[in-house]
Amino acid sequence: MGLLEELIPHFLWDVIKGLGLSIPRAISNYKFKRFFGYKALDSDKVYVVLDPYEHPISRAQLPQGQNRFVKNFLGRKPNSPLVGEDKILGSCSVRVTKYSSSEFALFRQKTDPVKVVLDEDVINNWEGTFICFGSSDSNIKTFDIESLNENNLYSFDFGQNGIRRFNINGLHYSIDQNGDVGVLFRLNNPYHQGDRLFICAGIGEWGTSGAAYYMFKNWRNLYKRFGSKTNFVLVLQVDRNSDESAREIREYKV
């Protein structure tokens, strides 16, 4: 038997193995793109939108020797007062960035990661898919999306006790002694067909990051339930200090 005859079976086997791997990959890519929007795989018009905030006193206005923040060194040495940055992000932002970047990295080229931006950078932008973290009290883009006429899924208002709550079809959900509450919201982008608008928001930080964890862990099942075009909102109960505790307690779709 010649060399060619010996190589052909090995070559054919490699081709078959390659097809066996590429077909499931193609199916997964297809579902990912339909759930997160048609630009999700290869466009720079996909944004992870974070919510920075500022101390009311700028560093330029601080009296000499005064500080705005404290760094807790957890007993390793005395806590240290800091002037701090003028614009900061909470620890919640670290968690949601990890969840979103890690999942998108599975589907996008390493040289083309998903864009992580501040809300103020995209307040006038509507082309693309926007995945917003934080409620409309802290994220400008969340506020703009909630304010769209097309949002007939939920509103963010105050209860009689003055505490924030999510209002979903006449039912109210708020933070309590059992933990935080969050919403996972998807809306077809009314300005650009095929793009999506997402909100992961809590009354507190654990509702926000818990909703983010739940979405990226379960998006395949959510795609089975809602497909690519159904607008929906889920209410999630989240234990404090545990994103992985996020569990669904309500579904509403239109």
In a domain? residue 61? no
Tell me if 59 is assigned to some domain.
no
Distance CA 36, CA 83 (A): 40
Q: Return the pLDDT at 20.
A: 53
Q: What's the CATH code of the domain at 41? A: 3.30.379
Cβ-count burial of 205 within 10 angstroms (0-12 exposed, 13-18 middle, 19+ buried)? buried
Q: Give the percent of the chain with pLDDT over 70.
A: 91
- Residue 24 in domain: no
Q: Is residue 171 a part of any domain in this protein?
A: yes
Does residue 14 lie in a domain region?
no
The pLDDT-based confidence of 96 (bands split at 50, 70, 90) is very high
List the domain range (segments joined by +) for residue 247: 37-54+88-253
Q: Is residue 203 part of a domain?
A: yes
pTM: 0.89
With respect to residue 22, please indicate whether it lies within any of the assigned structural domains. Answer: no
Beta pairing class for 164-168 and 180-188: unpaired
Q: Which one is predicted more confidently, 85 or 65?
A: 85
Q: Which two tokens stand for residue 129?
A: 């898919």
How many domains does the chain fold into?
A: 1
Convert the pLDDT of each residue in 3-14 to its tens digit: 556 555 644 445
Give a yes or no: residue 197 inside a domain.
Answer: yes
- Contact status, residue 231 vs residue 188, Cβ threshold 8 Å: yes
Task: Quote the pLDDT of residue 40.
Answer: 94
Q: Which residues of 33-56 are buried (b: 16+ CB within 10 A; e: fewer)?
A: bbbbbbbbbebebbbbbbbbeebe
DSSP-derived letter for residue 248 is E
Model confidence pLDDT, tens digit, residues 169-202: 999 999 988 899 999 999 999 999 999 999 999 9
Task: Tell me the average pLDDT across 92-99.
Answer: 97
Digit-coded pLDDT (tens) for 13-57 = 454 454 455 677 888 999 999 999 999 999 999 999 999 999 888
Mean pLDDT within 166-171: 95
